[in-house]
Structure 1
Amino acid sequence: MGGQSLLEMLNSVFGGALTTLIGAFTGRLMYHSGEVKLGRRRFFGKELLWEIPVAVGMALIGEAAASYMGLTQPVSTGFIATLAYLGPRGAESLLAAWLGRRK
């Protein structure tokens, strides 16, 4: 495994699907940690459980979007983590802005 990046190592050990989920869960955990830091949530509160379906959903959406845009590893995993951090509302705003510029 010498000379591999972290994402390349995760891909070779776990495969692309798990690496995608790890990226999505990392993005949601970063968002959740920010909310904890601002005092809006407790770290081990019920809100943490609600992040699971959001992370899985954002992984699916992000993987489809990355495939559509032709992104390859490790860029696609970073893109998925970013979308997961933004969450559904943030991704919707990003998509609306992108579609608005295409017209």
Structure 2
Amino acid sequence: MNPHDESVGERLGALFREVHHRVEASESARISQAEMAARLGVSQRAYVDYIRGKGPAGARVALDLLAMLDDAEAIAILRRWREGKQINERHADGTTDR
């Protein structure tokens, strides 16, 4: 692994940790790694790897793609992602939009 890869991994880990803390702050509650992993649909081991900067290359690529956009465009993409996820979760629970 070259030094550039390590700095990317460290930056990704820091980003995952920051988001975890921001979610905790927005919910005014402590969220364990196990709970966050369950919310994300990954194993606790995988989540710990992510916050230690050993996450998948796909995370870096997704962030690199979003970084190519201006802020408003990136936010619009993230909102569409969130809305699609919420729709899928409602359908998985047996509810519909009708």
Q: TM-score range by the shorter chain?
A: 0.3 to 0.5
User: Does 1 or 2 have the higher relative contact order (CA < 8 Å, sep 6+)?
Assistant: 1
- The TM-score with structure 2 as length reference comes to 0.39
- The TM-score with structure 1 as length reference comes to 0.37
Judging by fraction of residues, say which structure has more helix: 1
* Higher Cα radius of gyration: 2
